[in-house]
Amino acid sequence: MLNHIWLSFSATNIVFQNVWFVAAIWMALALIASLVSIRTGISVALIEIFIGVVAGNFLHLTASNEWINFLALLGSGVLTFLAGAEIDPLSLKANLRASLLIGVLSFAVPFAVVWLFAQFVLGWPLNRRHRPFDHFRGGCLRSDDRRRFQRHRHGQNDSGRLFHH
Amino acid sequence: MGKMILAACFITDFGTVLALGGLFANYNIWLLVFVVTMCVVLWFMPAWTKGIINKFGATRVSEPEVKFIFFILFFLGGLATTAKSEAVLPAYLIGLVVAGVFLRDKTLVHRMRSIAFAVFTPFYFIKAGLFVSLPALWPAVAIVGGLLLLKMVTKIVGVWPLARLHYMHHREATYTTLLMATGLTFGTISALFGFQNKIIDQRQYTILVTVVILSAFVPTLFAQKFFQPTKGAMHAWGRRYRQRLGVLSVEDSEDEPKAD
């Protein structure tokens, strides 16, 4: 019995430690996404996210390998590049007034309102380390930052939570 | 009209990458180096790309033009992340400046698309889905609904009156508003940026990505099912828009037979 469990454990280990097998699993998921997308007519990106949700929650797949993160990083970069390259400069110029006005407000109104909603209604404060324009606030630590700093100096746990749950 | 919506989406997405690249960056010497280098590269990029295509275009096997674009993307991505900005900002702008070259050389854009959609983007989108935690989603359904509603309402407030102001009828204005309310790529890029830089936690990431998915799916479905304008109506808007602004375009003469 124990032997059997050990064998199956090592088989899983062999699969997940072999870069080819891991790549094969990810490509199989991508292939399934393509086929589902072709059958349903839903965008492949959306299906890939769904498959990621299923794989993450039910198959416990993780993006633990450095090379997966690297490929994903290239994915977001090249995708953005292609999105920029899709714009026909001539049609942008021809419809500049309408596109500019609609585009700017389509970004600015949701951005401002959702920011306020997230910060003041949901209570999602901006992260201390990544607060926008932090560098403009000068070198002085705020009083709560000072308290955190002193707690760390005295080896205490940081009980101040960055986010409300 | 489709081209106008695409161009407006471009401006909206540009706002997103600018906010992402600008809000969280470290305002130091590296940012200055990044911005100056990026401006210089953006200025020369169309000429360099055109030059490489013309000079080495015949040697298709070694793909020098694809490698050149990847080299520039990686290099500026390196500078951007050193300044704690986002690599998507230079990528988007490079895309824009070479768009003109790409329009003439469709082969290059097809090749880049093949490489991206076969090898890179599946890893990106599947990874974006992996971090969505279903147990964290159920208790937050009300927040997801609230945020989705807020996004829809703010898009309607921001876009619909302007679409009407730009001589669109009710149906076309609603169609434009619904299409402008989608945004899967830049929504997930922003959420993943926040999660990986520990600005948001997994629960917040789950909520945001769910809202992004729903806002990509629901408005498109409504737009295509109930508000899809006819080809004629779209061309008619183009003519109306140019007439009111007093701008004549080559498209006007091309539009006539298509509109019938």
B68-85 pLDDT, tens digit per residue, is: 999 999 999 999 989 888
DSSP single-letter state for residue A129: T
- Is A82 close to B88, i.e. CB distance below 8 A? no
Q: Which domain holds residue B72?
A: 1-130
CA distance B248 to B245: 9
Percent of chain A whose pLDDT exceeds 70: 70
User: Mean pLDDT across the stretch B171-192?
Assistant: 77
Which pLDDT score is estimated for B259? 37
User: Mean pLDDT across the stretch B33-59?
Assistant: 86
Q: Say which of B23, B159, B245 has its CB closest to residue A132.
A: B23
Q: Number of folded domains in chain B?
A: 2
- Is A99 close to B7, i.e. CB distance below 8 A? yes
Check: complex ipTM more than 0.95? no
- Cβ–Cβ under 8 Å, residues A29 and B126: yes
Q: Which of residues B126 and A143 earns the better pLDDT score?
A: B126
CA distance B51 to B45: 10
Pick from A49-53, A128-132, B128-132, B144-148: least confident: A128-132
Chain A residues within 8 A of B249 when measuring between CB atoms: 94
Q: What angle do CA A122, A128, A129 make, to 5 degrees?
A: 130
End-of-domain residue from the set B99, B130, B161: B130
- Cβ–Cβ under 8 Å, residues B176 and B2: no
| Per-residue model confidence as pLDDT tens digits over A19-32 | 888 899 999 999 99
Domain match, B100 and B202 both: no
A165 CB burial (10 A radius; 0-12, 13-18, 19+): exposed
Of A151, A43, A70, A28, nearest to B220 by C-alpha is A43
| Per-residue model confidence as pLDDT tens digits over A45-90 | 899 999 999 999 998 888 778 899 999 999 999 988 988 888 877 7
The verdict on residue B253 lying in a domain is no
User: Mean pLDDT across the stretch B105-111?
Assistant: 80
Domain match, B10 and B29 both: yes
The domain limits of chain A are 2-86, 95-157
Interface of A with B in 2-61 (CB under 8 A): 26-27, 29-30, 33, 42-46, 48-57, 61
Percent of chain B whose pLDDT exceeds 90: 22
Domain match, B116 and B138 both: no
For residue A37, pLDDT over 70 is answered with yes
Domain match, B202 and B108 both: no
CA distance B6 to A43: 17
| Per-residue model confidence as pLDDT tens digits over A104-124 | 888 888 888 888 888 888 888
- Residue B178: count other Cβ atoms within 10 Å of its Cβ: 23
The verdict on residue B30 lying in a domain is yes
